[in-house]
Amino acid sequence: MSLTLADIQRWDASAIRDVSKALGKRGASAEEVRTGLGKLPLISTWQGSGGDAARASLDKLSAYLASHGEEMARVSSATNTAADDIEAVKATLQRIDADAVREGFHVDTATGEVTPLNTGMIGDPGYAMQQADLESRIKALLAAANAADAELARAITTAGDDAAHAGQPETRPDVLDALSKPLPDDPKQFEALWDKLTPEERDSLYQRDHSIGNHDGMPAVDRDYYNRQNLGDELTHAQAARARADALKNQHPDWANGQNIPPPFGPGAAIEGRGKYDAWKRDYDAAVSGSKYLPDLQAVDDAVKDDPNRKLMLLDTHTGEQARAAVAVGDPDTADHVSVTAPGLNTTVHGAIGGMSDEATRMAQESRNQLDLAGRGTESVAAIAWIGYDAPQVPGTGDIPGSLAGGWEVSHDDVAKAGAHDLARFYDGINATHHGPLDLTAIGHSYGSLTTGLALQEPGNHGVDDALFYGSPGIEASTAEQLGLQPGHVFTMETPDDPIQQVYDAPTIAHTVAPFLPPPFNGLAGTILGGLDASGAGDFGPNPATNPNFTHLETGATTVPDGRTLGAAHGHSDYPRWDGANNQLYTTGYNIAAVVAGTAPIEQK
């Protein structure tokens, strides 16, 4: 049930702090008892079966006390944070009440409705704006209060989960030991541990770390379950922050636009006005920061909600400078054929995860159609849209420094190398949790093909069977063996009018960046960035699309074996897209599906 303003007025932060202190003391006491058990003289001197039984019992009790102490500390911290949130919410409500009285409004604490009291001012635009501002602030306040209430409720209702399952039989000391340490990064080791955990222990790990679903080596169904929970939590907080930011902006639209800012403290400065601005600015910056990833979270939510066939494999708003996400269509743990597609320049979660998920859906369906026609209809397909790295961004003339920085990034492989490490481990995670034979295809587009190529060259066997690169600026490899693949298992596509060709046809740095920069950067790239050639910028190896060691696939119009005539792809981005005019994939889309399914892609004429 949603809170009301009256509920907030009744909140008592001091009572919650008392609970927090009591829990902290109880946790400390449990830890003292546990430590004392290990120092008992009989532990080392009591021999025989009786001693063994006593030590086993004490180990069990010690494990319980350790988990009990940790749990009390966690709930103590959570309740203390809740007290901070409650004090902030109540202070905000007091300011709203004071402003309402001063401006001539009544606030109903049961409904939150704002009623004008100055009948002579009704209809006045300024008075109406004051009412709208109060209503907006109340909406933001209630959202923040409900979020704080939900966090406190979750901390309390999950209290004891760890302790209830800590007294594991002595036959599971490996699990108890593993849970007392940081979780393993290695996907195989993580999968082995995760498989031993009870549902309650898994839930407890989520309560400790809401990003638990991003661990490579966790089964897809569990990744989806915990990442969807985290998505809901992060959406709630981001929406509350956005409402707060909007309310603060409505209070002072001029300040939000950088206008009429009181001067800093000094001779002639209005101390009260500057202090009010500084407090407003702190609140406003915090609210804007808290809502930074709201568009990304909304895009992910739109991509996966109400669709159980889509699994949220990755949701990360903390690791990089950009949000990261991955959506699987189908079940990567059971599908016979699995693909992972990495995108390139200017890809963002908010701008691409929906479209890439739809492309994965269409590609998987085309793969299944081809398998049916090949008499292999029992084979299944899963396709993953992976935006798991900070793809280079060239925002345009509105952000000249950002565009120059993005131009540098896209002409160097630093970003690709960082993404390659995570992508290789993502491949490893798919292999670790997969049941039965797996045919895994790595797909990379544009700068994402460089990331994919480097991922395949990360140390170790990543279980990838085929690779497909399209619109590629290079992959820093010239043979299948360098990618850890067998000859004949690397495929490429490049449309005749793809501007990526200029990477290879013209001076390195200028033409790596220029085709993708908006005016005036494209014309200036040669002179501004030309001096970077000496650093090796833009040199990512020979063009995969002309390399005789790889299989080159058709991009033009063609008739495929089932009788359909498919249209030609054009430019740099058509490869996986839908041909809306003809309600079908382009030839390139057919070929992507064929490589994934292991059927018969159409080779270049």
**Residue 509: predicted pLDDT:** 46
Residue 3 pLDDT > 60: yes
Domain count, the chain: 2
> What is the rounded distance in angstroms from the CA atom of residue 330 to the CA atom of residue 310?
6
More confident residue, 258 or 523: 258
- In DSSP terms, 386 is beta-bridged to 326
Query: Model confidence at 525, in pLDDT bands (50, 70, 90)?
Result: low
Query: Model confidence at 1, in pLDDT bands (50, 70, 90)?
Result: low
Residue 536 CA to chain centroid, in angstroms?
32
User: What CATH number is associated with residue 138?
Assistant: 1.20.1260
More confident residue, 278 or 194: 194
| DSSP helix/strand/coil, 38 | coil
> What is the rounded distance in angstroms from the CA atom of residue 329 to the CA atom of residue 347?
19
Residue 564 pLDDT > 60: yes
When the pLDDT of each residue in the chain is averaged and rounded to a whole number, the result is 85
> What is the rounded distance in angstroms from the CA atom of residue 181 to the CA atom of residue 158?
21
Given a contact cutoff of 8 angstroms between Cβ atoms, the answer to whether 393 and 402 are in contact is: yes
Average pLDDT for residues 273-295, to the nearest whole number?
90
Please check whether residues 314 and 170 belong to one and the same domain: no
Q: What pTM was computed for the model?
A: 0.73
Is 454 inside any structural domain? Answer: yes
**Residue 517: predicted pLDDT:** 57
Given a contact cutoff of 8 angstroms between Cβ atoms, the answer to whether 333 and 384 are in contact is: no
Looking up tokens 């540098």 gives 408
**Residue 273: predicted pLDDT:** 74
Is 566 inside any structural domain? Answer: yes
Is 602 inside any structural domain? Answer: no
> What is the rounded distance in angstroms from the CA atom of residue 397 to the CA atom of residue 403?
8
Average pLDDT for residues 64-78, to the nearest whole number?
63
Looking up tokens 């393993």 gives 184
| DSSP helix/strand/coil, 128 | helix
Is 530 inside any structural domain? Answer: no
Alpha helices in 209-348 (DSSP H): 220-251, 253-256, 271-290, 294-304
**Residue 553: predicted pLDDT:** 98
Is 418 inside any structural domain? Answer: yes
Residue 45 pLDDT > 80: no
Given a contact cutoff of 8 angstroms between Cβ atoms, the answer to whether 441 and 601 are in contact is: no
**Residue 238: predicted pLDDT:** 93
| DSSP helix/strand/coil, 35 | helix
| Full domain range(s) for residue 446 | 307-399+410-501+542-597
Residues 6+ apart with CB under 8 A from 118: 104, 127
Query: Model confidence at 149, in pLDDT bands (50, 70, 90)?
Result: confident
**DSSP conformation letters of 520-542:** THHHHHHHHHGGGGGGTTT---S
**Residue 237: predicted pLDDT:** 92
Is 583 inside any structural domain? Answer: yes
Least confident of 3-17, 227-241, 434-448, 491-505: 3-17
Query: Model confidence at 422, in pLDDT bands (50, 70, 90)?
Result: very high
Q: What percentage of the chain has pLDDT greater than the value 90?
A: 59
Residue 60 pLDDT > 90: no
* pLDDT tens track for 89-109: 888 999 999 999 999 999 999
Average pLDDT for residues 319-345, to the nearest whole number?
97
Query: Model confidence at 437, in pLDDT bands (50, 70, 90)?
Result: very high
Its sign, for the CA torsion 474, 475, 481, 487, is negative
User: What CATH number is associated with residue 440?
Assistant: 3.40.50.1820
Which of 164, 181, 198 is the endpoint of a domain? 181
- In DSSP terms, 503 is beta-bridged to none
Average pLDDT for residues 14-42, to the nearest whole number?
62
**Residues written for the chain:** 605
Query: Model confidence at 520, in pLDDT bands (50, 70, 90)?
Result: low
Query: Model confidence at 510, in pLDDT bands (50, 70, 90)?
Result: very low
**Residue 245: predicted pLDDT:** 92
Which of 132, 159, 181 is the endpoint of a domain? 181
Is the backbone peptide bond immediately before 182 cis, with ω within 30 degrees of 0?
no
Residue 58 pLDDT > 80: no
Please check whether residues 34 and 174 belong to one and the same domain: yes
> What is the rounded distance in angstroms from the CA atom of residue 515 to the CA atom of residue 522?
7
Looking up tokens 């006390």 gives 65
- In DSSP terms, 492 is beta-bridged to 469, 552
Residue 212 CA to chain centroid, in angstroms?
12
**Residue 163: predicted pLDDT:** 46
Residues 6+ apart with CB under 8 A from 71: 27, 159, 160, 161, 162, 163
Is 223 inside any structural domain? Answer: no
**Residue 360: predicted pLDDT:** 98
Looking up tokens 């569990």 gives 222
Q: Which two tokens stand for residue 454?
A: 């480097």
| DSSP helix/strand/coil, 458 | coil
Is 265 inside any structural domain? Answer: no
Please check whether residues 473 and 331 belong to one and the same domain: yes
Which of 151, 181, 211 is the endpoint of a domain? 181
Please check whether residues 316 and 176 belong to one and the same domain: no
> What is the rounded distance in angstroms from the CA atom of residue 342 to the CA atom of residue 492?
15
- In DSSP terms, 314 is beta-bridged to 326
**Residue 56: predicted pLDDT:** 53
